[in-house]
Structure 1
Amino acid sequence: MLMFGRMEAYKGLEVLCDAMEIFLREGGEGTLHIAGAGPELDRLEGRFRSLPSVDVTNRFLPAAEIIDKMGACDGLVLPYLSATQSGVLSAAFANGRFVVASRVGGIVDVVQDGVNGLLVEPNDAGSLARALSRLSGDPGLRERLRAGALETARARLDWSKIAAKMISEYQ
C-alpha cells in the first residue's frame, strides 16, 4: 500500500500509524510506503520507521517517481479525517489502483465500498487495520478492487466524459 502527498494533520497519518501497529501486532503481512513531506510526517517519522515493513520517503517526489511508486503497489491508503475531494484518489484510480479510504467528504461520492476500494470510519485505527488485514489475506479481492478502480476512472473520471456531461446540462 502507498500513501503519498503533502502530510498535513487532516490526512490522518497518526491514524495510519496506529492502524499499522495493530495490523502488524495481529500478524498482518504487507508493505506500506509513505512518500511526501509535511509537518505530520516530520512528527511521526520515527514511529513509522520503527515498524517493520514500513518504508518512509520524507521529501517531495516528482510526478514520475510517484507514478513508479503507484505502479509498484496494489492500492493506496487515504485515512483522511476530513476532505472535500482528493486528487490522490483520482490519480490512484487512473493508475488502476484501489483505495482504502475514510468515509469523509467527496470521497464517498467516488469510492464504492467493495467495488473500487474499501471505506472505513474516519479516525478509527481498528477499522483501518481490519481493512488492511482483509486485503492482505485476499489476493482475489485486491484484483477485483483494482479492476473496479480502473473502470471507475474510465466511466466517471474521464475528462472528455465529464466535459460532455457538463455541456449537456448547461445547454
Structure 2
Amino acid sequence: MIKVTLLHFGFEDYTVELANSLVKYVDLTLIHPEKLSNVCSNVLDSKIRVINFQKPRIRDPRNLLSMNSMIRIIKDIQPDILHVQETNDPWYDWTLLLNKMPPLVTTIHDVFRHPGDNMPVFGSEYTRRISFYRSQQLIVHTNQLRKILIEQFRIPPDRVNVVPHGELGSLYQRRGSQSLQTREPYTLLFFGRIFPYKGLQYLLEAMPLIAECIPEVKLIIAGKGENIKHYFPNGYDEKRYEIINDFIPLEEVCNLFQRSTITVLPYIEASQSGVAALSYGMGTLVVASDIGGLSEIVQHKKDGLLVPPCDVRSLADAIISLLSDRYLQQKMQTAALARCHQDLNWSNIAAQTVQIYQRQIDMQKKN
C-alpha cells in the first residue's frame, strides 16, 4: 500500500473530504497546523493518522522553527508521496526550495490571486511559484488552469493533471444541525468572501429587474470581506435583503443553502468554485457567470445556468426563468445531485488521485 502524507495549511473542506476517501486506498497521514485541528477533528475518518505542529502568524520569525518541525515530521514518516494543498505561505515555499523532499504532488486551487483580493500574503505571488516547479505532479480542477500552467509557466503537460473539485454538501450536512430547513421558493443566496471579483454589484443591479416579475424574491448575502455598506449607500429593504456581513460559522452554512433555491455566482473572474461544489451537494440550484473555471463546473441547462459576466439583464432573465419554472428546477436539481455520485464524488476523485501517485512512483522507479 502506498504511504502518503497529506499536508495542508488551509483549504480545510477540500482536504477533509479528500483525506476521508484517500484513506480507503492508501496508508495516510495528515499533517496540519494545530489551529486547524478543531475545524477538521470531528469530520475526519478515525483511520487517518493526524499530526499537528505549531504554526505562528505569517510575519513571525518563529516560522523558521515551525518549518524545521514540519520537515522533521515528514522525514520521520518517510512517505512514498507528499501531497500538499496549495499554500500562500512563503515560509513553506522557501523550505521547499532549500530541502530535499519526497516525491511531491501539489494541488493548485488558484494559479493567480483574484483581482481585487486585498488580503495577499507578502511575497507569496512570487514564492508560491517554487511549488509549481519543485512538484513532480500538479493537480488542478479545470482545463483552464491546466492550460495556464502549461502555456504561461512552461510546466510540461505530463506533469499537470485535471481532477474535479468534489462536492461539499455532504460535509456541511454532517457539520450542520439535524433539523432540515424549509426551502424558500424565491430566495437567492450570494455566499462567500465579498470582493470585487465576485460581481455582487451586478446581482444587486439585477434584483429590481427580478422583483418586477417575481415580487417575492429575496437575496441572502452571507460572507466577510468588503464593507457591505458601500453597496447600499442609501440603506436597504430588510424584507428584500438579508445580510450577514461576517464569517459564517460552519454549523450555520448548511442552513443557508437549505433555505435558498438558487445560489448566484455573478463572478467577473473565476478559477474554480467551492461554493458551486457546496451548492451541488446541497441540492441548491446554480446560476453563474460563463467565465473561467465556472464554465467547466456548471453544465449549462443541465445542472445550472450560465450567463455572460457583467450582463445584468441576462443574469436577471436566467434567475427569473429558473424561479418561475418548478419543473426546470427539479430537472436541474436531479442532474446536480447525480453529478455528486459521478465526477464530483470523492471516492472517484480519490481513485484518480491515487493513479497520479502510482504513476509518479512508477516513474521514480524507472529513473
| Partner SS, residue 161 of structure 1 | helix
Q: Following the alignment from structure 1 to structure 2, what is the Cα–Cα distance between the partners of residues 28 and 135?
A: 15
Q: Following the alignment from structure 2 to structure 1, what is the Cα–Cα distance between the partners of residues 190 and 346?
A: 24
The aligned counterpart of 2:237 is 50
Counterparts in 2 of 1:141 and 1:51: CA distance versus 1, 3 Å: farther
Deviations 1:53-105 (A, max 9, x none): 22212211112111111011122100000000011011111112220000011
| Partners of 1:100 and 1:120 within 8 A in 2 | yes
Query: For 1:17-166, what aligned pairs fall within 5 Å after superposition?
Result: 17-39=204-226, 41-46=228-233, 49-50=236-237, 52-166=239-353
Q: Following the alignment from structure 2 to structure 1, what is the Cα–Cα distance between the partners of residues 239 and 228?
A: 17
Q: Following the alignment from structure 2 to structure 1, what is the Cα–Cα distance between the partners of residues 227 and 336?
A: 28
Indicate the larger mover: 54-63 or 94-103: 54-63
User: Normalised by the size of structure 2, how large is the TM-score?
Assistant: 0.44
Percent same amino acid among aligned pairs? 35
Structure with the greater relative contact order (CA < 8 A, sep ≥ 6): 1 or 2?
1
| Partner SS, residue 154 of structure 1 | coil
| Number of corresponding residues | 171
**Which amino acid in the other structure matches residue 107 of structure 1?**
L
Counterparts in 2 of 1:74 and 1:108: CA distance versus 1, 3 Å: same
| Partner SS, residue 37 of structure 1 | coil
| Partner SS, residue 221 of structure 2 | strand
Q: Following the alignment from structure 1 to structure 2, what is the Cα–Cα distance between the partners of residues 141 and 40?
A: 36
Q: Following the alignment from structure 2 to structure 1, what is the Cα–Cα distance between the partners of residues 254 and 203?
A: 22
| Partners of 1:8 and 1:40 within 8 A in 2 | no
In terms of fraction of residues, the more helix-rich structure is 1
The aligned counterpart of 1:3 is 190
User: Normalised by the size of structure 1, how large is the TM-score?
Assistant: 0.90
Instruction: Give 4+ residue runs of structure 1 displaced > 6 Å after superposition.
Output: none
Q: Based on CA coordinates, which of the two structures has the bigger radius of gyration?
A: 2
| Partners of 1:28 and 1:133 within 8 A in 2 | no
**Which amino acid in the other structure matches residue 78 of structure 1?**
L
Instruction: List runs of 5+ in structure 2 lacking aligned partners.
Output: 1-187, 360-367
| Partner SS, residue 81 of structure 1 | coil
